[in-house]
Every structure is written in C-alpha cells, then in structure tokens.
C-alpha cells in the first residue's frame, strides 16, 4: 500500500498544482509548450544521465545492456 501512495501522491499533487496555477493565472495559455520543451530537451536527458551514472554495472547487467544494444542494432535497416 505504501508503494502505491508513494507513487500516486506526487503525481496527484503535480496535477493539482498545474490546475491551480492555471486557475489563478500563474500559467497562461501557451506556457505548456514552453514547459514541455524544457522537460523534453533538458530535464529528462539530465535525469537519464544522472540515473545511468548512479547505476552500478555488474557483469550480469552489462550482458543485458550489450544484448539490448545488439538486438537494437540488428533491427536497424541501412
């Protein structure tokens, strides 16, 4: 039960925050495009790099990564 709460409560709080910021005029129409671009081009790539940096690669994890990359490259059409 605590996993569900730890996952869903932040999402619901962000939804409520977005609704209230729009309702009280903090965010205007069109601001969602700017925020989406920021998240897509800056925030998510930064988060990915940080998460990859913090992963401890064991031999088993390295095999899965190599298998995934190999599988992906085998499906590319040149």
Measured distance CA(56)–CA(75) in Å, rounded: 28
- The predicted pLDDT at position 70 comes to 92
From residue 32, how far is each of 12, 21, 58 by CA, in Å? 18, 12, 40
Measured distance CA(11)–CA(5) in Å, rounded: 10
pTM, two decimals, is 0.53
- In the numeric block, which tokens belong to residue 2? 């605590």
The conformation of residue 27, written as its DSSP 8-state character, comes to: S
Give yes or no for residue 20 having a pLDDT over 90: yes
Contact 62, 69 (CB under 8 A): no
């Amino acid at each position: 039960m605590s996993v569900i709460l730890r996952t869903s409560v932040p999402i619901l709080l962000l939804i409520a925050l977005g609704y209230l910021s729009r309702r009280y005029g903090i965010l205007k129409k069109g601001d969602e495009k700017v925020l989406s671009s920021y998240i897509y081009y800056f925030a998510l790539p930064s988060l990915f790099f940080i998460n990859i940096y913090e992963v401890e690669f064991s031999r088993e994890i390295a095999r899965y990564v190599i298998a995934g990359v190999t599988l992906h490259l085998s499906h590319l059409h040149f």
